Amino acid sequence: MHLFHCPDLLGASVELPEEEAHHATAVLRLAVGTRIGLLDGAGTKAAGEIESASKKGCTVRILERVVLPAERSARIHLAVAPTKQMDRYEWFVEKAVEIGVDRITPLITDRTERGKLRIDRLQRVAISAMKQSQRAWLPRIDELTTVKHLLQEDLAPQRLFGWCEGEHRSLMERYTPSIDTVVLIGPEGDFTPEEAATFRNTGFHAVSIGAARLRTETAALAVCTWISLAQQR
Amino acid sequence: MHLFHCPDLLGASVELPEEEAHHATAVLRLAVGTRIGLLDGAGTKAAGEIESASKKGCTVRILERVVLPAERSARIHLAVAPTKQMDRYEWFVEKAVEIGVDRITPLITDRTERGKLRIDRLQRVAISAMKQSQRAWLPRIDELTTVKHLLQEDLAPQRLFGWCEGEHRSLMERYTPSIDTVVLIGPEGDFTPEEAATFRNTGFHAVSIGAARLRTETAALAVCTWISLAQQR
């Protein structure tokens, strides 16, 4: 059964978002009456039947709805500096969604080179990864955010940042699975000592992520994997 | 300092492998006298100085050698079914080398579709990932191997396989960091019940890897990450 993303699954019948409607009607050419699956990205799965399909759009009659329990006991928020190559960041988003993450913030740091990031593309990558892994949860993906702005937020209580300089306890020692967590991952060249000092002043602890030097997207996914799997132990 | 892979670092001066020599002389145009770093992929790092550089090759005078201690207390062997798209398997190899793995076996299973795999390309991906993460360890990458042939080997004592069918204890519960481990990851469509039975008869335990359905390469990297980081706790 084909799966589609539809943020609003309330009501007796729903309208697919433009891109999903186009995929259903123009690409897959699904006829009226076809049964499809729907995911709202916020924990609800539904089964529906195509009611109308035209160039104007695609409406689906809801046959049943299932609200799923949260997958994890605590939230995972990763703030990750953009990579030089966009495809590495897209890859990270795809894998993080498969493994499990609640929020991704592309982070502008002192040593961040890339000033732009196609958030719409990241959203699409996240949606297709959610469908592929048959998840009903879609993480929030923020616009590019400066360290300054991120730290002004009311962030999760367990605050960690990956840092290669100096000796730190490892993520694996530090991380407590039952507490909402935010982890900061720096760019190539890592965070500056000034940034590290700012993080520490706002309750963040530096952690190491294994012995080897990891690329930004590798470190981010390793953190995501450890944190997500540690909760499902 | 540029890093090069050179399997043989014994002797006062060494010859770079053809591809590395080409990269040093034709691509980077490094002159005689340039200092470079060398990794043998078996735990030795060296510093050297280019002695001769020509179309015929590149010889390097060894200035110092460091033999590094093993990174992990126990070996990690992953046997992973090929993915339909080659680039996903290459991606897995790159990331696994960064995070830490000792041996990768591309595994032919009942439901494996791809019959061929460019092992030479996987080798190149592994070498560049080793250099990038400044590792002195290069995993062994096997030729395509059938389940039957793999099981005839004297495999690591801790034997696990990812399986989506039925209820199993999780990898995170099952895995004991101090013991050499082999983990089998199936193709899209997973292992067949017959394969699972064969694995069990040869001392393998089925494990789950989190709640969600993961792609082959995602499951393989998640396993690699958990096992490698659990050892560095």
ipTM: 0.90
Do B99 and B185 lie in a common domain?
yes
**B220 touches A at CB < 8 Å:** no
B150 within 8 A of B174, measured Cβ to Cβ:
no
Same domain membership, residue A82 and residue A57: no
Residue tagged 């706790």 (tokens): B233
Q: What is the mean pLDDT of chain A?
A: 94
Say if residue B233's pLDDT is above 90.
Answer: no
Closest-CA distance, B215 to chain A, in angstroms, reads 8
Residue B112 sits in the same domain as residue B214 = yes
A chain contacts of residue B210, beta-carbon cutoff 8 Å: 99-100, 228-229, 232
Residue partners of B94: CB distance under 8 A and separation at least 6: B125, B126, B128, B129
Residues B50 and B86 in one domain: no
Q: From A49, A43, A42, select the one nearest A16 (Cα to Cα).
A: A49
pLDDT tens-place string over residues A137-178: 999 999 999 999 999 999 999 999 999 888 899 999 999 999
Q: What is the pLDDT of residue B213?
A: 83
pLDDT value of position A210: 84
Local confidence band at B114 (pLDDT 50, 70, 90 cut-offs) = low
Q: Name the band, by pLDDT with cuts 50, 70 and 90, for residue A134.
A: confident
* Residue B209 CA to its chain's centroid (Å): 20
CA angle B32, B39, A188 (to 5 degrees): 95
Q: Are residues B86 and B154 in the same domain?
A: yes
Judge if B119 and B24 occupy the same domain. no
pLDDT the model gives residue A13: 95
**Model confidence pLDDT, tens digit, residues B161-180:** 999 888 899 999 999 999 99
User: For residue B115, what pLDDT band results from cuts at 50, 70 and 90?
Assistant: low
Please indicate, yes or no, whether residues B84 and B176 belong to a single structural domain of this protein. yes
Q: How far is A152 from chain B (nearest CA, A)?
A: 32
Same domain, A117 and A224: yes
Residues A33 and A15 in one domain: yes
Q: Same domain for B147 and B205?
A: yes
- Do B170 and A210 make contact, defined as CB atoms within 8 angstroms? no
The residue range of the domain holding B225 is 76-230
Instruction: State whether residue A210 sits within 8 Å of chain B by CB.
Output: yes
**B17 shares its domain with B49:** yes
B44, B67, B90: which is the final residue of a domain? B67
| Band of pLDDT at residue A223, cut at 50, 70 and 90 | very high
pLDDT confidence of residue B210: 84
pLDDT of residue A130 exceeding 80: yes
For A10-61, write each residue's pLDDT tens digit.
999 999 999 999 999 999 999 999 999 999 999 999 999 999 998 889 999 9
Residue A121 has pLDDT above 90, yes or no: yes
Q: What is the pLDDT of residues B44-74, one digit of tens each?
A: 999 999 999 988 899 999 999 999 988 888 9
Q: How confident is the model at residue B211 (pLDDT cuts 50, 70, 90)?
A: confident
State the CATH number of the domain containing residue A102.
Answer: 3.40.1280.10
Minimum distance, in Å, between the CA of residue A166 and any CA atom of chain B: 17
Q: Are strands A140-141 and A158-162 parallel, antiparallel or unpaired?
A: unpaired
Structural domain tally of chain B?
2
Q: A67, A99, A115 — which closes off a domain? A: A67
B44 and B84 within one domain: no
User: pLDDT by residue (tens digit) across A56-81?
Assistant: 899 999 999 999 988 888 999 999 99
Structure token digits, residue A182: 């935010």
State which of B26, B48, B67 marks the end of a domain: B67
Nearest to B35, CA basis, from B10, B56, B4: B4
Q: Which CATH number is A58's domain given? A: 2.40.240.20
- Please give the structure tokens belonging to residue A100: 């499990």
Instruction: Determine the Cα–Cα distance for residues B136 and B7; give it in Å rounded to an integer.
Output: 10
